[in-house]
Chains A and B, each alone.
Chain A
Amino acid sequence: MTAALSLEDRTSLADALRKALQERYGFATGRRQAMSDGPDRLPGVTHLLAELGLCGLMLPESAGGFGGFGGAAVDMQRIQRELGRALVVSPWFDSWLAAQVVLRAGRQDALLAALSDGSLSMALAVQEDCGLGKPESPPTSARRDGRGWCIDGAKSCVFHAGAVDRLLLRANVAGEGEAWFVVVAEQAGVRQRRSYRLVDGSWAADLAFEGARAERLAPAEAVEAAGGLGAIGLLQAAGRSAELLGACEAALELCVQHLRTRKQFGQPLGEYQSLRHRVAEMYIALEQIRSAAEMAAEALEMHEQGDAASARRRSAQARLVASEAATWVLQQAIQLHGGMGMTEELAVGHYYRRLLVLIAVSGGAAEALASLMSKCERHGH
């Protein structure tokens, strides 16, 4: 297994990733090509990420990776920022999240080894199937029969469902409460009800579990408590805010380049004061997003120190700031490109498409605000 990386190595890993993505996953050759991939294969870029050793970052040295325990989230954010910049859609972050859960469930050495050497991919099946006019969250349940555990229920919007090896999900065990389960994706008990592409080009599917064979990891509570990194929502917020940061940085760069070259009424757009001010405001918003990514990471530390209420609050603040600021920045990025910003041929619109999906699945401003305003959060503060 790979030796631990020093801090410099980690910084240079992000640099190496940026360089590799620039060379091998450019917008026209990488991202746009990926938009025509089918649902039953992992996006090609996934292999590039594995080649660069990113899978090893999923786990600390003690578990055979080189992620470094306390610093795991910092490394993950560095990677996510680069993936956001390059508009990478891959199961890397889902697998990273899944690895954190598996790690904290304990006794899963073979699974962890396969995740950290990139030979196994995993998706989170955590969105409940919530139809229009139907009650929220019909519970996914687990029961034990003569051969072990099996799962019944449904999950919606499972990313890369048709291409990953394993699914990680929570299900209710009668009399015990919720527990985490690992499910082999390709088996008779897992049925794809519908497979579709989202606006950011990612493939997802709605899954039905009909007596799907499963392996029980641990009770949800135990995972939350162990190691302090259990709260998956906090990890998600840390990763997604970093991804939005990278996306907004890249979009601002594109805007400045466009304003320098595009001329209307005889002068470059960049000489119009109103547009210069817009760019200045985008820069300010970008700094707020940078801080939000730090806040989301800080929430993880708070959680680790046992202050769950403060952690939830800080994470919700981060989500609120990051999603509102990034939404505005990426809308302005399209606006400043004029009609060209509305085309699929330019990268700038793709950042906004990605943002819509990230916010919908990991919670945007409305959800963060609701969390901040709820009684228990305010008491926690």
Chain B
Amino acid sequence: MRTESGHLQALRAEIRSFLAEELDPGLRARLRRGEFPRRDDLVSWQRKLRQRGWGAPNWPREFGGAGWNDIEQLVFLEECCAAPAPAPHVFNITMLGPVLIRFGSPAQRGFWLPKLLGAELLFCQGFSEPGSGSDLASLRTTAVREGDSYVVNGQKIWTTSAHYADWIFCLVRTDPDAKKQQGISFLLIDMKSPGITVRPIISIDGRHSLNEVFFDGVRVPVANLVGEENRGWDYARFLLGNERASIAGVARTRERLAYARELAAATRRRGAALASDAGFLARAERLEAELEALDRTQYRLLGGESSPAERVAGASALKVKGTELFQRVMELLTEVAGPVGLRLPGAEGFGPDPREPIGVAHLYSRAASIYGGANEVQKNILAKHVFDTIP
């Protein structure tokens, strides 16, 4: 661990004792086993965080946020991951909140921010479409103005938690004639609106967290437009840029590596504890060293000495390396678990052995190098930066 200022050490200690007191041991155990948090987990945790003043680490204090800088946010995230505890709600807090704070009208801020903070409703994210993955700006869902409403038609895909979310923030095309990035708007849509259909996507881990969302003549009040019409692409880029503090996932990966070591200590293989097996140790130590280095990389890139261009490139570097390390740790964890760790949940979920859900978590981890801009796209961004800046 890097040497830390007294202020950060104190904050870390404060967060740790909060987690020790407030995190439900049952939820902690489920997350540690590799299961997804449920809706009620997310809601009650978000409320506990709000009560402590930490419901929105990335928002300014005047809107109910913790007002923390990037490094303080990272410390908070590290401690949540280490527990492990859920992070503040990613769609409400990390993604949508900052967009409303920066681009929303005063009325929108006053109406939405308290609701987001207290998880009175949960948002999901409607960006990707079947034909628009890495090439997000080619999206085709349309919104046509009719009086006081937009009428939305089209389809979103890979929508995490759409099956239990209350609202969705969507990118929609409001000007079909403009250049592709320029005709896009940012709309908030009630998931209970007539004309919305949610269809589950079962992912390769056999679980349901992803969905397709169909819009068939869905009427959305004009008041639910965020910012200006046809400026949605800028807001989306701003939103995606805000993921920097979590993009490397170092703390999450460290927690998984520690878990692999813990399981390895309790596993005997080839006549000895797996934790002392030379092959296991070689892999675990290599991963730990690379994580230590990535941790420093992210602190350097978040630390404010870098230029805006370096920050954009840095986010791509953190995403590529971070997801690669995460996936390698998940492979190691799966190997430690052996066949016991490759089960699908039965009708009553997983059985008593804590290793059982590791395989499905491993399968889901393969998405990490695909979502949020596939690693191939990140490398294109990086390559451009390297050629632009190195003489």
Contacts and interface: CB of A to CB of B under 8 A. Distances in A.
Contacts of A7: none
Contact of B370 (A197, A335, A373): A335
Contacts of B346: 196-197
Interface residues on A, range: 35 or more
A357 B379 CA distance: 32
A343 interface: yes
Given A132-B266, A275-B376, A342 B370 contact: yes
B224 to A, nearest CB: 27
Interface residues on B, range: 35 or more
A349 B369 CA distance: 15
Contacts of A327: 331
Contacts of B135: 264-265
A274 B379 contact: yes
Nearest to A204: B339
B175 to A, nearest CB: 19
B354 interface: yes
A205 to B, nearest CB: 11
Nearest to B362: A356
Contacts of B370: 334-335, 338-339, 341-342
A132 B339 contact: no
Given A338-B134, A364-B335, A198 B343 contact: yes
Contacts of A265: 134-135, 138
A343 B201 contact: yes
B339 A199 contact: no
A344 B202 contact: yes
B9 interface: no
Contacts of A274: 376, 379
A208 to B, nearest CB: 15
Contact of B354 (A127, A132, A136, A194): A132
A188 interface: no
Contacts of B184: none
Contacts of A198: 339, 342-344, 359
A222 interface: no
A366 B128 contact: no
Contacts of B278: 370, 373
B268 interface: yes
Contacts of B134: 264-265, 338
B268 A342 contact: no
A6 B280 CA distance: 47
A146 interface: no
Interface string B140-172: 000000000000000001100000000000000
A130 B351 contact: no
A132 B353 contact: yes
A361 B344 contact: no
B334 to A, nearest CB: 7
Interface string B189-213: 0000000000001111110001000
A156 B339 contact: yes
B338 A353 contact: no
B360 A199 contact: yes
A264 B133 contact: yes
B310 interface: no
Contacts of A272: 376
A70 to B, nearest CB: 32
Contacts, number: 136
Contact of A352 (B204, B353, B360): B204
B355 interface: yes
A135 B268 contact: yes
Interface string A143-186: 00000000000001100000000000000000000000000000
B339 A349 contact: no
Contacts of A264: 133-135, 138
A356 B203 CA distance: 16
Contact of A369 (B204, B206, B279, B375): B279
A364 B283 CA distance: 14
B386 interface: no
Given A274-B379, A364-B335, A356 B342 contact: yes
Given A334-B204, A335-B370, A349-B204, A194 B351 contact: yes
B267 A132 contact: yes
B20 interface: no
B291 to A, nearest CB: 20
Interface in A90-108: none
A377 to B, nearest CB: 12
Contacts of B31: none
B133 A338 contact: yes
Interface centre among B267, B340, B360, B362 (most CB of A within 10 A): B340
A343 B339 contact: no
B371 interface: yes
A342 B203 contact: yes
A350 interface: yes
Given A274-B379, A344-B203, A339 B133 contact: yes
Nearest to B137: A265
Interface centre among A156, A157, A360 (most CB of B within 10 A): A360
A334 B366 contact: yes
A270 to B, nearest CB: 13
B270 interface: yes
Interface centre among A196, A339, A344, A352 (most CB of B within 10 A): A339
Contacts of A194: 351
Contact of A366 (B267, B335, B360): B335
Contacts of A339: 128, 133, 157-158, 367, 370-371
Given A338-B370, A352-B363, A356-B334, A127 B268 contact: no
A273 to B, nearest CB: 11
A291 interface: no
Interface of B: 128, 131, 133-135, 138, 157-158, 201-206, 210, 263, 266-271, 277-280, 283, 327, 331, 334-335, 338-344, 346, 351, 353-355, 359-360, 362-364, 366-367, 369-371, 374-376, 379
Interface of A: 127, 130-136, 156-157, 194, 196-201, 204, 263-265, 272, 274-275, 327, 331, 334-335, 338-339, 341-345, 349-350, 352-353, 356-357, 360-361, 364, 366-367, 369-370, 373
For the complex of A and B, list the 9 residue pairs with the smallest distance between their C-beta atoms, beginning with the closest: A349-B204, A136-B268, A133-B266, A344-B202, A264-B135, A157-B339, A360-B339, A197-B344, A265-B135
27 contacts: A132-B354, A132-B355, A135-B268, A136-B269, A156-B340, A196-B344, A198-B342, A264-B135, A264-B138, A265-B134, A327-B331, A331-B327, A334-B366, A335-B369, A338-B370, A339-B128, A339-B133, A341-B370, A342-B203, A343-B204, A344-B202, A345-B201, A356-B363, A360-B334, A360-B341, A360-B342, A370-B277
Given A199-B205, A334-B366, A349-B204, 9 more contacts: A134-B268, A264-B133, A335-B370, A335-B375, A343-B202, A344-B202, A352-B366, A356-B334, A366-B335
